[in-house]
């Protein structure tokens, strides 16, 4: 089954989409609603998952795209991809909890890879994932991503990234070399 069928459309976000995106990303990662899916961070963090001002800046800046998947007028998935030096950076990835495991996330990730390699001509896509999320890291590995060995600190003390419930959070860096045929 094609996850991006006639009932689902992809488009670039606008500033008018910020409230719906904040609500979706929060519902996917925080609180009880997030427990319907498998990507919850509810046991790791409370608070915000995405800051509206950061999201507005991401939508407005060059070499940055926030993609939205919609079913009718409902935002059901999103992702942010941007240029970060000599590579693309992938983040703010969220699929409505009830649609997780439908293939929609893989389709959205593939579209972001296409933007990075095919439009921006960058050879690599990178991301950071909370180290305490082994199931998510494994999901990315199955899609060709590898851990680089680089570790980044969690931004403790900055509520724009959530309110940690643990004192050992940190990020692992993953990356994927994008096939040259994408850049043709």
Residue-range definition of the domain harbouring residue 63: 8-179
Q: Give residue 160's pLDDT.
A: 81
Tell whether 45 is covered by a domain.
yes
Tell whether 95 is covered by a domain.
yes
pLDDT digits (tens, 9 = 90+) for 30-85: 878 778 877 788 889 888 888 899 999 999 999 999 999 999 889 999 999 999 99
Tell whether 3 is covered by a domain.
no
Pairwise pLDDT comparison (160 vs 24), residue with the higher score: 24
Tell whether 184 is covered by a domain.
no
Specify the CATH number for the domain of residue 106: 3.40.630.30
Provide the number of structural domains found in the chain.
1
Q: Give residue 37's pLDDT.
A: 76
Question: How far apart, in whole angstroms, are the C-alpha atoms of residue 30 and residue 55?
Answer: 17
Of 174, 176, 81, 177, the residue nearest 131 (C-alpha): 174
Tell whether 150 is covered by a domain.
yes
Tell whether 138 is covered by a domain.
yes
Token representation of residue 54: 């950061």
């Amino acid at each position: 089954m094609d996850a991006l069928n006639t009932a689902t459309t992809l488009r670039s976000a606008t500033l008018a989409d910020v409230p719906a995106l904040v609500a979706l990303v929060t519902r996917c990662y925080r609180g009880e609603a997030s427990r319907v899916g498998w990507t919850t961070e509810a046991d790791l963090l409370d608070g915000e998952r995405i800051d509206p001002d950061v999201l507005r800046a991401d939508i407005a800046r060059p070499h940055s795209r926030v993609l939205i998947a919609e079913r009718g007028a409902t935002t059901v998935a999103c992702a942010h991809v941007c240029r970060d030096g000599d590579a693309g950076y992938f983040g703010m990835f969220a699929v409505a909890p009830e649609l997780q495991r439908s293939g929609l996330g893989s389709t959205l990730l593939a579209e972001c890879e296409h933007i990075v390699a095919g439009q921006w001509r960058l050879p690599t896509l990178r991301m950071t994932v909370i180290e305490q999320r082994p199931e998510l890291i494994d999901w990315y590995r199955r899609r060709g991503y590898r851990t680089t060995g680089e570790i980044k600190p969690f931004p403790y003390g900055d509520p724009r990234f959530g309110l940690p419930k643990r004192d050992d959070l940190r990020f692992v860096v993953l990356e994927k070399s994008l096939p040259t045929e994408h850049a043709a």
